[in-house]
């Protein structure tokens, strides 16, 4: 099989992207990636193998550490969602492009980690947005942004069978409805309050449904 060689340029945040609380990322000036030589499964497998488990991500996190720690400590998974995950067979692997400084990442990954702890047919590895930038660029938000977290669901053969981008649909709808009437600070505070009140229910529900669709053979790669 053709060896995979990927060259990524380091992303230098602009002044605005460095402080934005909404986890979208600014465009990269150039990414050198020859998709003609890209063996997709091998690439995803390689990225997965080099990714960190959640325990390591948690240990070294600095960005929004307080939120990450608080969320993980109170996170739990309803037994019915654990049972549905186990019933979906597998094994399944989650490859997450995430940053500890991203408010959406630290509000979602702890619940995925708890799901992995509770179900023995799913695992999680995390890579940062420099390594995984091309995955983000291929799977953008509806408004055209590369964002963290970008979650890829892989099957036992390492094929992408689904993805989940940035935040739950219900939260995205709330933000869209209030974007024109709230300041950026108020929108951010409202988002964080939504996450605290929801306590991971929507994130977990959407991820489990993603796994179930893949188990039924309805999953598909999300790259554009």
Domain assignment of residue 5, yes or no: no
Check which CATH number belongs to the domain holding 56 and give it: 3.40.30.10
- How high is the pLDDT of residue 12? 33
Q: Which helix (H) or strand (E) holds 211?
A: helix 201-215
Burial (CB count within 10 angstroms: exposed 0-12, middle 13-18, buried 19+), residue 88? buried
Domain assignment of residue 9, yes or no: no
- How high is the pLDDT of residue 39? 54
- How high is the pLDDT of residue 27? 37
- Whole-number Cα distances in Å, 95 to 10, 110, 153: 21, 14, 6
Beta bridge partners, 125, equal 95
Work out the mean pLDDT of the chain and round it to a whole number: 86
Q: Tell whether the model's pLDDT for residue 9 goes beyond 70.
A: no
Find the range with the poorest average confidence among 7-11, 22-26, 124-128: 7-11
Q: Are strands 92-97 and 150-154 parallel, antiparallel or unpaired?
A: antiparallel
Considering its fold, how many domains does the chain have in total?
Answer: 1
Residues spanned by the domain of 137: 15-215
Q: Are strands 146-147 and 122-127 parallel, antiparallel or unpaired?
A: unpaired
pLDDT digits (tens, 9 = 90+) for 139-177: 999 889 999 999 999 999 999 999 999 999 999 999 999
């Amino acid at each position: 099989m053709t060896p995979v060689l990927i060259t990524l340029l380091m992303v230098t945040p602009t002044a605005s992207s460095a402080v934005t609380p909404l986890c979208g990322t600014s465009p990269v000036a150039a990414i050198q990636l020859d998709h003609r030589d890209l063996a997709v499964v091998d690439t995803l497998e390689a990225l997965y193998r080099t990714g960190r488990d959640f325990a390591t991500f948690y240990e070294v996190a600095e960005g929004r550490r307080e939120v990450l720690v608080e969320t993980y400590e109170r996170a739990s998974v309803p037994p019915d969602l654990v049972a549905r995950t186990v019933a979906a067979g597998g094994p399944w692997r989650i490859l997450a492009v995430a940053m500890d400084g991203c408010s959406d990442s630290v509000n979602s990954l702890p619940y995925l980690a708890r799901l992995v702890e509770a179900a023995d047919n799913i695992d999680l590895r995390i890579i940062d947005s420099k390594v995984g930038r091309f995955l983000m660029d291929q799977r953008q938000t509806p408004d055209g942004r590369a964002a963290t977290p970008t979650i890829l669901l892989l099957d036992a053969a390492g094929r992408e069978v689904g993805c989940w981008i940035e935040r739950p649909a219900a939260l995205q709808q709330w933000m869209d409805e209030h974007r024109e009437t709230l300041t950026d600070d108020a929108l951010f505070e409202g988002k964080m309050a939504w996450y605290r009140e929801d306590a991971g229910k929507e994130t977990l529900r959407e991820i489990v449904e993603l796994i179930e669709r893949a188990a039924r053979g309805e999953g598909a790669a999300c790259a554009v």
